[in-house]
Amino acid sequence: MLRRIDPHLAADAMAAHQVTVDDGCWLVQTDHGLKGCAVGALFFTQYEDVPLVQQDVVEWAVQCTGSRVYVLGFDAGFHGFAPMDDPPHHYTLGLADGKVTRLLVDEPGACRPALFCWREETS
């Protein structure tokens, strides 16, 4: 069963942990803070640490979502990598979720649901 990554939560994890986008890694600690991607930020949210090996983030994400193909699609969508030809359904879902997550990271106010405050009018 596929468990999709919520783009809003992933973008919020990047913001909360001040993860700078880096298209070359999942998550690393530098002298200037964390850099990586949304999946790496979610990993950091759970473990409060960076992985010893980058592949650990991938395996963790596969375990959380239930689909390696979905994680590959999410990664391609987030980083803007060329998608695979004739992708399977889970890849397409991951691609879409990754694209939305990147939009939310780059433009924090984009795609946010409107919040309404209901109040009773008094005359």
Q: Using one digit for the tens of pLDDT, what is the confidence trace for 21-65?
A: 998 888 999 999 999 999 999 999 999 999 889 899 999 999 999
Residue 90 identity (one-letter amino acid)? H
Instruction: For the beta carbon of residue 62, count every other beta carbon within 10 angstroms.
Output: 15
> What's residue 37's pLDDT?
94
Structural domain contains residue 45: yes
- What domain count does the chain have? 1
Structural domain contains residue 116: no
Structural domain contains residue 25: yes
Arithmetic mean of pLDDT, 9-21: 94
Q: Using CB atoms within 10 A of its CB, is residue 33 exposed (0-12), middle (13-18) or buried (19+)? A: exposed
Structural domain contains residue 70: yes
Q: What is the pTM of this model?
A: 0.85
Q: Which residues contact 107 (CB under 8 A, 6 or more apart)?
A: none
> What's residue 96's pLDDT?
95
> What's residue 108's pLDDT?
78
Distance set, CA 27 to CA 55, 69, 86, 108, 115 (Å): 10, 20, 29, 20, 32
Can you give the residue range of the structural domain that contains 84? 7-106
Angle formed at CA 100 by CA 27 and CA 98, multiple of 5 degrees: 45
Structural domain contains residue 115: no
Q: Using one digit for the tens of pLDDT, what is the confidence trace for 56-111?
A: 999 999 999 999 999 999 999 999 999 999 999 999 999 999 999 999 999 877 66
> What's residue 32's pLDDT?
92
> What's residue 113's pLDDT?
58
Structural domain contains residue 90: yes
